[in-house]
């Protein structure tokens, strides 16, 4: 039986440490404050009895739980990231505990009238009667992905204390900067030493994912011309007006808020504009590689068309691939998905096998030689003030890790 209060205390200790990453930094980790949790994790892994605990110069933490059987079993891994998204502040996280949730509105912050309501977030109703961990409405929570970190550490601690659960060698890894797309960039797959791994970075209980978006960024710089507005006729070129023409040139019904499932999108996530120069930052996403290429070509064609139509203004484009669909690397080893699915079913958890509408460290690691499906960590409404996680989901994910370890050993008996 897992110690519910012990695991809750562990999770709360993690989320109270600010580990927000910074996309504008060139260092790894991108923020110095991530070291605080990285060092804490390294010490904690040693304290619970893992071996080969190490933290490298870039704050990647790795450790090993040795096999407790005599026959050969492939080394498997579990990976999570400890940074939080720069989309919303992670400073001074003050978690709130809602015992025996009754299915009604949860007032996160009475003073600012911030309410977590099932009328808007209907997933809340899945967790009536459970213990919810929420924010106080002024920060994100950090369940993405400190819930995953907590689950891995807690599972390893449980396996150490319960040697009757037979398992092969287990590798654990914790990464910085996943939220800014760099979590796997300096991950040493060879040093990690696993044949395959699982990221604990999904949302709703039961999620099991081995497909994700192909992803690219697109930066469109619109160059105009500034002159005194009193003498501007025939001379001024307002780049912001022309930037609007670019935005309107993309399909209005292919955005994150209008798509689901396997549908891809263009997402304008940042604008910086003045008369002389406007910069549009997009992300491009699609599960299908051919459609992904078409989306990138659409961006290029639109910019080229506008350059031809408006010769006084110049549209400059820069497109960079970020990561690719892990399906190509995982499907040749579908037994690793089958093991995770069997583990959930053994624990009476209904597997929800679906594509990730995003990416994880696992999508990049799969292309680095470490096939890496994604498993639920339990949180909801990531990257904002309405984030929450049921404690029971954290406990269930911890049990899934232990069960995967046991089933992998049984497969190779």
380 DSSP assignment: B
Where would I find the beta strands (DSSP E) of 95-146?
96-98, 106-109, 114-116, 132-134
Q: CA 286, CA 321: separation in Å to the nearest integer?
A: 12
Q: Mark whether 178 is an active-site residue.
A: yes
Angle formed at CA 78 by CA 192 and CA 188, multiple of 5 degrees: 25
Q: Mark whether 83 is an active-site residue.
A: yes
Q: CA 90, CA 21: separation in Å to the nearest integer?
A: 10
DSSP string, 163-196: TTS----EEEEEES-GGGT-TTTT--HHHH--SE
Catalytic site residue from 22, 83, 144, 211? 83
Residue 85's alpha-carbon distances to 154, 228, 303, 335, in angstroms, are 23, 41, 31, 32
Tokens of 221: 């710089």
Ramachandran quadrant class, 22 (left: phi over 0; alpha: psi -120 to 50; beta: rest): beta
Partners of 285 in beta bridges: 215, 265
What is the distance between the terminal CA atoms of the chain, rounded to a whole angstrom? 26
Angle formed at CA 283 by CA 145 and CA 208, multiple of 5 degrees: 40
Catalytic site residue from 18, 20, 145, 178? 178
Q: Evaluate the omega torsion of the peptide bond into residue 29 and state whether it is cis, within 30 degrees of 0.
A: yes
Q: Which of 138, 145, 171, 142 is nearest to 156 (CA)?
A: 171
| HSE-CB of 176 using CA atoms within 13 angstroms | 29
Residue 248 burial (CB count, 10 A): 9
Catalogue the active-site residues: 83, 178
């Amino acid at each position: 039986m897992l110690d519910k209060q012990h695991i809750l205390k562990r999770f709360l200790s993690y989320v109270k440490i600010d580990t927000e990453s910074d996309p504008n930094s060139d260092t790894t980790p991108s923020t110095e404050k991530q070291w605080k949790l990285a060092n804490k994790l390294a010490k904690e892994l040693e304290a619970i009895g893992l071996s080969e605990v190490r933290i490298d110069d870039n704050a990647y933490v790795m450790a090993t739980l040795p096999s407790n059987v005599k026959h050969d079993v492939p080394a498997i891994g579990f990976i999570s990231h400890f940074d939080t998204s720069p989309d919303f502040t992670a400073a001074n996280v003050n978690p709130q505990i809602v015992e025996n949730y009754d299915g009604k509105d949860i007032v996160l912050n009475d003073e600012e009238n911030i309410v977590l309501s099932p009328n808007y977030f209907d997933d809340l109703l899945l967790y009536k009667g459970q213990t919810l961990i929420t924010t106080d409405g002024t920060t994100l929570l950090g369940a993405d992905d400190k819930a995953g970190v907590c689950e891995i550490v807690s599972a390893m601690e449980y396996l150490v204390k319960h040697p009757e659960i037979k398992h092969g060698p287990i590798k654990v890894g914790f990464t910085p900067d996943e939220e800014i797309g760099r979590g796997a960039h300096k991950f040493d797959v060879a040093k990690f030493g696993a044949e395959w791994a699982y990221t604990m970075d999904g949302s709703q209980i039961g999620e099991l994912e081995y497909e994700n978006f192909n992803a690219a960024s697109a930066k469109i710089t619109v160059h105009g011309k500034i002159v005194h507005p009193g003498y501007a006729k025939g001379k001024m070129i307002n780049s912001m007006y022309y930037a609007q023409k670019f935005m309107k040139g993309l399909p209005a019904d292919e955005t994150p808020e209008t798509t689901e499932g396997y549908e891809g999108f263009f997402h304008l996530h940042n604008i910086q504009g003045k008369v002389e120069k406007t910069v549009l930052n997009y992300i491009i996403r699609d599960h299908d590689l051919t459609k992904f290429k078409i989306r990138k070509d659409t961006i290029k064609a639109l910019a080229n068309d506008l350059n031809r139509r408006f010769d006084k203004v110049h549209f400059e484009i820069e497109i960079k691939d970020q990561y690719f669909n892990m399906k190509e690397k995982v499907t040749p080893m579908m037994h690793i998905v089958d093991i995770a699915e069997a583990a959930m079913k053994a624990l009476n958890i209904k597997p929800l096998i679906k594509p990730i509408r995003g990416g994880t460290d696992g999508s990049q690691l799969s292309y680095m030689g470490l096939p890496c499906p994604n498993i639920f960590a339990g949180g909801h409404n990531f990257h904002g003030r309405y984030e929450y996680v049921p404690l029971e989901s954290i406990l269930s994910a911890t049990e899934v890790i232990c069960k995967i370890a046991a089933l992998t050993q049984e497969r190779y008996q």
